[in-house]
Amino acid sequence: MDTFMSHPEILSSSHARPQFEPLDFLSQISPKDKPWDDHRRQADQVTSILADGLPHHQRQAERMRECAKHLNFGWVIESIETGEIRLRLKKAQFCRVRTCPICQWRRAKMWVARFYHAFPKIYADHPDLRYVLLTLTVRNCPVLKLRETIREMNNAWQRLIQRKIWPAAGFVRSLEITRAKDGAAHPHYHCLLAVPPSYFNGRKYISTAKWAEMWREALRIDYTPICDVRLVKPKKWEKLRQTSPLGLQEVLMDEVRSAIISPEAYNEGGGREFYDSDFEALQPTPVEVLLSSITEVIKYAVKPADMVADPDWLLALADELRNARSVAVGGILRQYLSEEEPQNLVTENEDEIMNNPGGVLFGWREQYNRYKREKAA
């Protein structure tokens, strides 16, 4: 009989003796949590730049070096029907430095979670509202003029929303800054506007050209800024429906995971059961459409790749962004949403983690550039 024992050359090869790597890393045990590795790696890059700056930059670097150094996860039930469980963060210490990639990421996710919990109530009270995505830009400015430019944009925004033609009953506005190839800063606003159905009538509708004109007048500038306006539509789901029969459910679950929202809260808040077998009947609920839209509005204030592209640019940015507010809420939406920055960057559901004692502790290991399991917490 021809067996492996008949071929010693096979036994001596690496194919005959596979090396199984133990499941020690967070990204192995929970692939959905791989972003932790990515963001912590980016934070190390930013830290190394700040450490070479002025004393106040060095103090920021010291805080960032300890940011999310240890992550304590607990096991939670993902689905009672399937018995699936997964890790959810229970405890971590964050530095809250404005330029920290980890804190930016967590802060954005917490904003999404906050908006998600508010939207069902907003929809119940104002079911006729429609939503528009608006982007407002200005010309690039030297990074050392960024604070001044942001102040001018804030003043222009106040003038814009006080105009009689202003159509929105409420808004969510976030600030994003990107780095141009020549090193200039490009600040711009991403806005979600809640407008009445009458906005889309002929007389009240505001075209992209009209938005640009209104923004130019509010800024009191002599050039026409670039603006973009789009109606919120569930395009993502339609595309997924065409490409994968499970795509819709998977992307919804990913949105929930990334926004630190429990499946139970998701369903109660206007979502649906994730394991619905009748996929063809699924259509995005209004809340799901809004959740998708808010993830487009609430992004990184500054992309990590831009921060590490030029050390001098990052050091100047850190000074210019000091005390800058990244998100604003106005109109009727202020009845439902606080614009105070999230203080809890761990989870939106503290009861859930309190009811799940024990856990798994991971520590950042620079030699691996990954979070490695340390011991049972």
Is pLDDT above 50 for 271? Answer: no
Whole-angstrom CA distances from 322 to 48, 150, 262, 301, 338 are: 19, 12, 33, 12, 21
Largest CA distance in the chain: 90
Reported as a pLDDT band with limits 50, 70 and 90, residue 170 is very high
**Residue 25 pLDDT greater than 70, yes or no:** yes
What is the band of 83 on the pLDDT scale with cuts at 50, 70, 90? low
CA dist 366 and 377 (Å) reads 21
Domain boundaries, the chain: 18-376
Average pLDDT estimate for 177-188: 95
Nearest to 231 by CA among 190, 203, 195: 195
Q: What is the pLDDT of residues 131-168, one digit of tens each?
A: 899 999 999 999 999 999 999 999 999 999 999 999 99
Could you tell me the strand order of the sheet in which 227-231 lies? 227-231, 130-137, 185-195, 170-179, 327-331
* Strand, helix or coil for residue 179: strand
Helices 35-50 and 311-320, packing angle to 10 deg? 90
Tokens of 316: 């100047």
Q: What distances in angstroms separate CA 117 from CA 47, 146, 267, 287, one per listed residue?
A: 34, 33, 11, 10
Average pLDDT, stretch 241-245? 44
Coil/strand/helix, residue 193: strand
Q: Average pLDDT in the 99-105 region?
A: 93
Taking residues 82-107, what's their average pLDDT?
A: 88
Q: Are 239 and 251 in contact (CB under 8 A)?
A: no
Instruction: Please report the pLDDT score of residue 111 as a whole number.
Output: 84
Q: Indicate the pLDDT class of residue 245, thresholds 50, 70 and 90.
A: very low
Model-level pTM greater than 0.75?
yes
What's CA 300's distance to the chain center, in Å?
7
pLDDT attached to residue 346: 74
User: What is the three-class DSSP state of 171?
Assistant: strand
In what order do the strands lie in the sheet containing 85-91? 85-91, 70-77, 360-365, 370-376
